[in-house]
Structure 1
Amino acid sequence: MASHFQEGNSTSSSLSYFILDGYEDVGSLRYFYFLIAAVLYFVIVIVNTFMIVVICVNRSLHEPMYIFLCSLFVNELYGSTGLFPFLLVQILSDIHTVSVSFCFLQIYCLHTYVNIEFCNLAVMSYDRYLAICCPLQYNTRMTCNKAVFFIIAVWLFSFVKFLIPFSLNIRLTFCGNIINSLCCQNYLVAKLACSDPKVNNIFGLFGAVLTILVPLLPILFSYMKILEVCFSGSKQTRQKAVSTCTPHLASLLYFSFGCTFGTLQSRFDMSSVPRELRLILSLYLLIVPPFFNPIMFGLQMSKIRNNLHMSSVIRCWLVKEIKY
């Protein structure tokens, strides 16, 4: 502990690692927690990869809506991979430390994941607006090429946007190295700076506003228009809106909840919330969307359901033919 204390009061010129204070000594239970985390990560990788493959190999799914879904599933793999391998190693470790360079790499990965997710949901809401409110113009206003352009723009914007606050945090001088979390978080690392990170906080707040407002405006616009059409349209139009928008709205709601709690937890005193609940909810964004999104969209979207059914039928037929 003495070496930890000494390094915890050094500057960033000699700081080589951070200590993650969110972990506790749980004895042999850590193998149980490791198994739960490993199974969860395995399921996330399998279901998201499976949905990506289904969309890629079925030509009937080569439409803008499913291209956006494919981007969403790729991002789920990206975000969960930024957490779970690291989490699995930490669960089995006796000393919960992380190198400074890897900590910043994880911060960059997790922040870009959140921004990509929000922006991807925004372009998906715009796609639903065109499909429901402008069905006759949809094929000309939203082509596959335009969908690919939107996806490239979303990923580039997300990777570039975080570079300024990220580069500012890398140059901070730290007078502590204890992070009260299960993984590296940008604001918690900035709080360890020797000087007041005022500029970093300003850029961080500006980045948070961009992360929320840039996607939120097209989302609000799209759903206001969709609601107008639903109230004034036919029963068939309302049914189409409900069937195609329900998974998107559900994904948007629980992702927004995770973002809100993450912001509140890092910037305000949450000591009244039980510690175990705080730790679990701190990982909410990297567990719930990657796990539920492919399952929810896969079950709700009729075309995907039909293709999944056809794939199972073909596999059964092939097995019978091989047996005979």
Structure 2
Amino acid sequence: MDNDSLITFFVLSGINETKSQRFAIFSVTLLCYCVILLVNISVIVTIILDKNRHEPMYILLCTFCMNGLYGTTGFYPKFLWDLLSPVHVIPYAGCFVQALVMYSFACSDLSILAVMAYDRYLAICRPLQYHAIMSKQKLFHLVCFSWLTPFCIMAVNIFLASRLQLCSSYIRRLFCVNWIIVQLACSSAETTINSIIAYITIIIYAFHGFFIIGSYMHLIKTCVNSVENRAKFMQTCVPHLTSLITFLVTILFDVMNMRFGSKDLPQTLQNFLAIEFLLIPPIMNPIIYGFKLTKIRNKILGFIYLKIK
């Protein structure tokens, strides 16, 4: 029997714990989403309108902010609607689409961070060859890699999950998560291939992390004995490292809670751990880069000053 004939929608039961503070949570969530839109769009528009900022580092930052908008759009509008709705359901197909957006957003963030680490390595360790290596064509290929590869990998995971016969439609989360959908399968024997592909995906992105760590170990060695390189490192690499640490911490909390977390934890705490990566990095990243990168900061402040005048 096809899955579609058994389950036509999923119930997002994680939101039931927020009934008593629903309007307060709605107000705070709407404010957070507006801030995310404002700070990310400000950086994106600043980079696009200023032709002097059409350099690899700024284009990658623009890509980073666009990815933040992509991921948060997959969560906040639906969550805000659910807070005002008496029924918290999502269509069967819509659930898998949301899971695809959430996972591809997180994986793309790590891919973009890896490309940014490579860019900083070339700029500081191989400055004379930087423009020859980081050509417009290569930059285009790297941006496509950082977006399309995670999307395709996660599409395979989601497709395999969609083929499972499910025995429950209740998801104890605020949004759809592929791993939890797999756990709803009627038979654990059917999920073997899902687990294998999931672990392969984890290994692929673990290598992304090792690449970033290796790049920064080399960068630190290069910058130790050079005042000029140390200045470059502080100006352009510190924001990147801050973004990386923020991303890894928020994702780690979510993954550890989902895989090994106790069911005795209050649902409110589980909800917060689940949405950290959709709240903290999308707000912090553009603010960190906007204030640390002098050219972007001055441009944004210039726009604000002209508006005030």
Query: TM-score scaled by structure 2?
Result: 0.94
Rate the CA distance shift 1:147–1:180 in 2: closer, same or farther, 3 A.
same
Answer yes or no: is 1:239 the counterpart of 2:231.
Answer: yes
Give the secondary structure class of the aligned counterpart of 1:70: helix
Answer yes or no: is 1:223 the counterpart of 2:223.
Answer: no
Give the secondary structure class of the aligned counterpart of 1:24: helix
**For residue 201 of structure 2, what is the amino acid of its counterpart?**
G
**For residue 237 of structure 1, what is the amino acid of its counterpart?**
N
Tell me by how many angstroms 1:311 deviates.
Answer: 2.7
Query: Is the CA contact (8 Å cut-off) linking 1:83 and 1:106 kept in structure 2?
Result: yes
1:4-53 Cα distance to aligned partner (Å, 9 max, x none): xxxxxx96522111111212255563111111111111111121111111
Answer yes or no: is 1:34 the counterpart of 2:26.
Answer: yes
Rate the CA distance shift 1:26–1:118 in 2: closer, same or farther, 3 A.
closer
Aligned pair count reads: 306
Rate the CA distance shift 1:273–1:229 in 2: closer, same or farther, 3 A.
farther
Tell me by how many angstroms 1:238 deviates.
Answer: 1.3
* CA distance, structure 1, for counterparts of residue 136 and residue 28 of structure 2: 39
**How many percent of aligned residue pairs carry the same amino acid?**
34
Tell me by how many angstroms 1:54 deviates.
Answer: 0.2
* CA distance, structure 2, for counterparts of residue 266 and residue 25 of structure 1: 18
Tell me by how many angstroms 1:268 deviates.
Answer: 1.5
Of 167-176 and 153-162, the range deviating more from structure 2:
153-162
* CA distance, structure 1, for counterparts of residue 197 and residue 172 of structure 2: 23
Query: Is the CA contact (8 Å cut-off) linking 1:179 and 1:188 kept in structure 2?
Result: yes
**For residue 197 of structure 2, what is the amino acid of its counterpart?**
F
1:203-232 Cα distance to aligned partner (Å, 9 max, x none): 11111221232x22331221011011122x
Where does residue 65 of structure 1 map in the other structure? 57
* CA distance, structure 1, for counterparts of residue 131 and residue 198 of structure 2: 39
Q: 106, 127, 137: which one pairs with 1:114?
A: 106
* CA distance, structure 2, for counterparts of residue 241 and residue 306 of structure 1: 20
Tell me by how many angstroms 1:188 deviates.
Answer: 0.5
Give the secondary structure class of the aligned counterpart of 2:14: coil
Answer yes or no: is 1:74 the counterpart of 2:53.
Answer: no
Tell me by how many angstroms 1:314 deviates.
Answer: 4.1
* CA distance, structure 1, for counterparts of residue 77 and residue 105 of structure 2: 16
Where does residue 168 of structure 2 map in the other structure? 176
Give the secondary structure class of the aligned counterpart of 1:175: coil
What is the correspondence of 1:126-165 to structure 2 with a 5 Å cutoff?
126-165=118-157
Query: Is the CA contact (8 Å cut-off) linking 1:11 and 1:175 kept in structure 2?
Result: no
List runs of 5+ in structure 1 lacking aligned partners. Answer: 1-9, 320-324
1:114-140 Cα distance to aligned partner (Å, 9 max, x none): 111000000001111111111222222
Of 18-27 and 193-202, the range deviating more from structure 2:
18-27
What is the correspondence of 1:164-313 to structure 2 with a 5 Å cutoff?
164-196=156-188, 197-213=191-207, 215-231=208-224, 233-271=225-263, 273-313=265-305
Q: 39, 46, 49: which one pairs with 2:38?
A: 46
Query: Is the CA contact (8 Å cut-off) linking 1:12 and 1:175 kept in structure 2?
Result: no
* CA distance, structure 1, for counterparts of residue 71 and residue 111 of structure 2: 14
Query: Is the CA contact (8 Å cut-off) linking 1:45 and 1:77 kept in structure 2?
Result: yes
Query: Is the CA contact (8 Å cut-off) linking 2:95 and 2:176 kept in structure 1?
Result: yes
Give the secondary structure class of the aligned counterpart of 2:68: helix
